[in-house]
Structure 1
């Protein structure tokens, strides 16, 4: 009976590889609805890990996590872009209220810098390339 249970657990893990990985993600990342999740430690584990996955709209992304689980960067994989609204839950409210926040943009990269600064690269709704550097809270 034990062998059947162990075999069933391994079969489930191989059938749904994102299932086990999703349980070790920070809540903010697991709330994105990623599929095809892979978690890989950075070359030096003390620097954190990289999470690879697919957003509900089909965009493939890489999320760099610091060792404490804080998101350092989200980047589109390949030459793709991802809609800004699909990562909205990760953006601080003060940034969403900022008139510079490109709500209708498609992004290639968003970096969360120390001190609260956010750098955004992508294309605005009109298709123009743009890089925004949003100041930290209170600046």
Structure 2
């Protein structure tokens, strides 16, 4: 009988999607408010792991973490796009402050490159496809649209 409470607590945590597996994620990932979280190790653990989950908007994403649990990229699953607002907490303030930052876009992918560069690709509010690159200090390095 003395083991009943721990078993109930364990069973309850496993019944709530993402609770049992999400507790060891970096704060940058947990701050995104993901639900239905699954964690998968990469073939070689020293290269990190992949986190699959659902953003507050309902979009399914895959987040690649490096071996130090830094976010390498966030990518939409399937043909889904996610609102750029869902990952705003990951973007440095100088980049968010750039007039070219497409705050109302939906993304297919955001990559965090060496030196703090950020690459994004997706669709602007008018549906036009785009890709852009920003330096960590907010400088726009490239902005291309298809159309």
TM range (shorter): over 0.9
**Post-superposition CA distance 1:20-74 (Å, at most 9, x none):** 2221111111011110001111110000110100011100000101111111000
Q: Is the 8 A contact 1:55 1:61 kept in 2?
A: yes
SS of aligned partner of 2:51: strand
Q: Is 1:124 the equivalent of 2:121?
A: no
- Residue 38 of structure 2 aligns with which residue? 38
RMSD, aligned α-carbons: 1.5
- Residue 4 of structure 2 aligns with which residue? 4
Shift of 1:76: 0.3
Q: 5+ residue gaps in structure 2? A: 140-147
Q: Is the 8 A contact 1:100 1:134 kept in 2?
A: no
Q: Is the 8 A contact 1:84 1:103 kept in 2?
A: yes
The alignment covers a number of residue pairs equal to 139
Structure 1 residues 108-117 or 5-14, which shifts more?
Answer: 5-14
- Residue 27 of structure 2 aligns with which residue? 27
Shift of 1:3: 3.6
TM-score, normalization: structure 2? 0.88
TM-score, normalization: structure 1? 0.93
Shift of 1:7: 2.7
Q: 5+ residue gaps in structure 1? A: none
Q: Is the 8 A contact 2:96 2:138 kept in 1?
A: no
- Residue 104 of structure 1 aligns with which residue? 104
Q: Is the 8 A contact 2:94 2:137 kept in 1?
A: yes
CA distance in 2, matches of 1:107, 1:18: 24
CA distance in 2, matches of 1:14, 1:85: 30
Q: Which of the two has greater helix per residue?
A: 1
- Residue 14 of structure 1 aligns with which residue? 14
SS of aligned partner of 2:122: strand
